[in-house]
Structures are given as structure tokens and as C-alpha cells.
Amino acid sequence: MTVPIATSTIAAQAFRLMELSPISSFADDSAQAQAAAEQYPIALTMCLEAADWSFASVLAKLPEASLPSGAAIDDDLTFAYQLPGDCVVLREVVDPTVRWRRDRDLLRADAAGPLAIRYTGQTSNEAALPATFQTAVAFQLAALLAPIWTGTQSKVSRLEQAGSVALRQAMRIDARQASAARYDGRPMQGDWATEAVR
């Protein structure tokens, strides 16, 4: 994923969190700018992987795909689907009765397509990210860069701890973005007799 590091406010914040001056230009050839450009996509992806974020949630219907050359057929999961290129984490196959497994970028299932899925998608638009999530990514980026630029393990540990707190705060704020739902196909509320014998 190409990231416009020249305009990244997250990268600038990461240097402030390390108690360093933000680099003057992210497009320059300094070692700091190169390290930030290299580690930024990793920090962003790590934070996207951490939760089922509403702002990165994508619903898609996948058509059936041919198996790649040399790939073995799974007798139990005979249908194959190519996952979208921006898929960070597959969160859900919408039909709860479908058996499935992810093998690299291939989704195998026991149902014919199209197959509806929901996944966390990669994003490069910082302006679309909530402020609390941007802060969590900045802490993650700072923690990745700190061993080189701060030189003290105590500062790295503080950044990691503060980053964990920031990520949990972002998760709490984003947590209530959908109505309550069950994913096992059963009614939202069972009757007391059924629940008692379960």
C-alpha cells in the first residue's frame, strides 16, 4: 500500500510522542523520513488488525474463482473465492451455515457463490480515520521507531503502554456502531423454556 507520508499527520505526531521534533519534510532523504515511510504501513495495519473497526468495515459479495495453478482441491470445501486485495482481516462470512477456511488470499467454502463476506479493509486516507484511532496509530509508529531514535528501553516501554491504552480507548469509542445481532441464526431472544434446557 502506498502511503502519502509527505502529508501524514500521524507520522508527525509519532515523532512528537517520542519527544523529537517532527521531520521538516517527509519527502526528504533523511534516515528519519525513510524509517517513518517504511514503518507507517506496518503500524497502520497492526492497528487495523486489532479490532473490527466500523470505519474500515467492508461488505462484499465474492464470485467463485478458479484455484491457482498447483493448488490442491479440498474435498470438504470445494468452492474457492479470491479475497479482495485490500482485505486485512476477514471478519465474517455472512451466512452462518457456511463452513469456510482462509488459505492465504483464497477463501474456501462449502457453498456456491456469490459469497457475502465482511472484512476489515486497508485504508490510506488519514482524513477518514477517527481521531482516537489516528492517535493509536501514532503511538504504534512511535513504538516501532523509538528503539532507533530514543535509545532508551524505558521510553519504548512507556510508548507501548500508552499505545495500548490509546488503542483500547479507540475500540471503546467505535464499539457501538451496529445494532446487537446474533451470528448463529437463532432469534435475538429465546423463550425461557428453550434456554433452560440448553
The predicted-structure confidence for 173-198, as pLDDT tens digits, reads as follows 998 877 666 555 555 565 555 555 55
Is pLDDT above 70 for 1?
A: no
Mean pLDDT of 31-47: 91
Mean pLDDT taken over the chain: 85
Q: What is the pLDDT of residue 192?
A: 53
The C-alpha atoms of residue 198 and residue 196 are separated, in whole angstroms, by 6
Check residues 115 and 3 and name the one with the higher pLDDT.
115
Q: Is the Cβ–Cβ distance between 138 and 126 less than 8 Å?
A: no
Q: Which residue's entry shows cell 434446557?
A: 197
The DSSP code for 55 is G
The predicted-structure confidence for 43-62, as pLDDT tens digits, reads as follows 999 999 999 999 999 999 99
Q: What is the pLDDT of residue 33?
A: 83
Domain ranges of the chain: 5-52+124-174, 56-121
Q: What is the pLDDT of residue 198?
A: 59
Q: What is the pLDDT of residue 69?
A: 84
Check residues 181 and 74 and name the one with the higher pLDDT.
74
Q: Write the secondary structure of 150-179 as one string of H (helix), E (strand) and C (coil).
A: CCCHHHHHHHHHHHHHHHHHHHHHHCCCCC
Is pLDDT above 70 for 27?
A: no
Counting other chains too, the contacts that 70-78 makes at CB distance below 8 Å and 24 or more residues apart are: 71/106, 74/101, 74/108, 76/110, 77/101, 77/108, 77/109, 77/110, 78/108, 78/110
